[in-house]
Each structure stands twice: as structure tokens, then as C-alpha cells.
Amino acid sequence: MQSIPDNSAVSLAASPSMVTVSIRDLHLSYGKLEVIKGVSLDIRRGEVVCIIGPSGSGKSTLIRCINGLTPFQSGSITVGDQQVGDAKLDKIRLRRKVGIVFQQYNLFPHKTALQNVMMAPLKVLKEPRAEVERRARELLAKVRLAGKEDSFPGELSGGQQQRVAIARSLAMRPEIMLFDEVTAALDPETVQEVLLTIRELAEDGMTCVLVTHEMAFAREVADHVYFTDGGKIVEHGPPEEIFGSPQDERTQRFLSRLL
């Protein structure tokens, strides 16, 4: 237990310049369709990075690569001390470090909220049940779902399901959390519950990569914003720059259409 790093604000914020994810000249295509055409970016510890851009520009594909869910053809992705493209990659260790939350929640429908959160630590990390259950209850309370432990996913609202999904990822004590348009399938009222949870995580010092269409939220929480189009990063910088005075014409057009 002791060897697993703590996610508290103190330990992470202490080394803000430390690069934890580094992507270099990434290329990926599905058959003939080129989806990512040379992307490079760095993510530092405790940083909140937002990726924005039109639909189909490869945002989901990019963050799925970081987690090793989608294989890529060339370039490199380094997460901590691991090379994601490595043939002998220890995927279990990578996925302990990197959690991902999907647009469609993808909870396990035959397990209760509590069991959803406990599954991976029990079966993948093989941690003792009592300890796992204690932490799972804490996590559900943290995402404001105390009292819903025994509900099945089908009995929860979209926003509640999404927060269970976040707790489920956090139960692996990841160092980095990836969020892929996690509010896109939600009702406007429940969007705020989920955003609040993510904001609290960011404030705790968790390294977060957010793909989002919630521009106001991105502007508020992001340390760095990337704008993608056609499989490339067109422009990036602090949120004030990207939202305040975008340089590229494509970014301008995208943002003006949203506002």
C-alpha cells in the first residue's frame, strides 16, 4: 500500500514542471483514412489540458492512444517511464496510471454502483476487499453519490452514471485522468454535477486531459488548451490566448460558431 503514490494536492503540485505524458509526431490511420497527422504535445504533472476542435478531428482517437486502447502507426507516446508503442508494453501498469472516462459512461450493467467501483481494484490489483470497499465508498461520497451504492446503473440518471464512471476510474488511483466529452450525452441540468466533480479533481492536483465542448468550463479550469482540426494541432496556448485572441483563422471560425 505504502508504495502507491498519494494524489493529494501537496505531493503533485510540488513538481509542476515534471512532464508526465509526452507525444511526439504521432501518426495514425484507419486503413486509408488518415486520422492523426503528426501530433506532438506535452502534459505536465498536475496540469489540466483541454483539447477542443470540430467533430471528427481526431480528439477521441488521440486520448485513446494515451491509454493504449487504440494502436498507432508511427511517432511515440511516453507516459512516465513507459513507451506506449512498445511491443512488450505492460498494459496493466499503464492503465493503473491512466484512467479514462467515456462519453457513454459504459458502466457494467450487471453490477451495482459500489461493485462497479470495486471490480478493478479487487480483480486487477488484487487488493484486500475490506480496504477496497472502504475506498470505494469514500470515492462515491466524493462524487456526491453516497446512498446510491446499491443502485444498478440502469436505475441512475445519466449524470449519476457518469460520476460512478469517474469514481470507478479513480479507484485505480491513476496519476492521469482522461475525459472524452463526458458531458456530451447529458441533460443540461446534470452537466453541472459532472463538471463540478471534475473541477474538484483538478483542484486536488490531478493531471487531467479533457476533450470537451464546454468552452466556458475549459476557459475556467484549463492550464493549457489545444485546438485540433483535421488530425493536426492547429494552435495551442493558455486559455486566455486561445479564447481571447485566437491567431489561426480556423480557430476563430470554430469559436465564433460556438458563441
Partner 1 sequence: MDAILTLIAPFFRDLYETTGINFNVFYDPYQFKRFLIGAENSILLILAAILLSVIVGVAGAAIQQSRSTWLRWLVGGYIQLFRNTPPMVQLLFFYFGLGAYAPQVDMGGYYQPMVSAFGWAVIALGIFGGAFNVEIFRSGIEAVPKATLEAAESLGFKPWQTFVYFTLPLAFRICLPALTTNLVSLAKTTSLAYVISVPEMANMLNQVWSSTFNIPEMMAVLFCFYVGVVWLLAAFLHWLERRLRLRGYSK
Q: Residue 146, SS3?
A: coil
The only residue of 14, 124, 141, 216 in contact with partner 1, by rule CB under 8 A? 124
Site for ligand ADP in 13-52 (CB under 6 A): 30, 33, 35
Q: Which of 243, 7, 204 is nearest to 196 (CA)?
A: 204
# residues contacting ligand ADP (CB under 6 A): 10
Signed CA dihedral, 220, 225, 229, 230: sign only: negative
- Give the nearer residue to partner 1 in terms of CB position, either 102 or 254: 102
User: For the chain, how many residues are written?
Assistant: 259
Question: Min. distance of Cβ 44 from ligand ADP in angstroms?
Answer: 23
Residue with Cβ nearer ligand ADP (12 or 179): 179
- Binding residues vs Mg ion (CB under 5 A): 60
190 belongs to the binding site for ligand ADP (CB under 6 A): no
Q: From the list partner 1, Mg ion, ligand ADP, none, pick the one residue 107 interacts with, judged by a Cβ distance below 5 to 8 Å according to partner type.
A: partner 1
State which of residues 26, 41, 46, 58 lies at the interface with ligand ADP (CB under 6 A).
58
Can residue 212 be called a binding residue for ligand ADP (CB under 6 A)? no
Cell numbers linked to 119: 471490480
Number of chain residues interacting with partner 1 (CB under 8 A):
30
Burial 51-77 (b: 16+ CB within 10 A, else e): bbbeeebbbbbbbbbbbbebebeebeb
Query: How far is residue 201's CA from residue 59's CA, in Å, rounded to a whole number?
Result: 22
Q: Give 133's contacts (C-beta < 8 A, 6+ positions apart).
A: 114, 118
Nearest Cα to 127, choosing from 114, 118, 139?
118
**Binding string to partner 1 for residues 131 to 170, with x set by CB under 8 A, is what?**
--------------------xxxxxx--------x--xx-
As measured in angstroms, the least distance from the Cβ of 230 to partner 1 is 25
Per partner kind, with CB cut-offs from 5 to 8 A, the member of partner 1, ligand ADP, Mg ion, none near residue 56 is: ligand ADP
Query: For residue 211, what is its C-alpha cell?
Result: 476533450
C-alpha cell of 99? Answer: 484512467
Residues 6+ apart with CB under 8 A from 195: 183, 214, 217
With respect to partner 1, which residue has the nearer C-beta, 92 or 130? 92
Residue 96 contacts ligand ADP per CB under 6 A: no
Give the binding site for ligand ADP (CB under 6 A).
30, 33, 35, 55-61
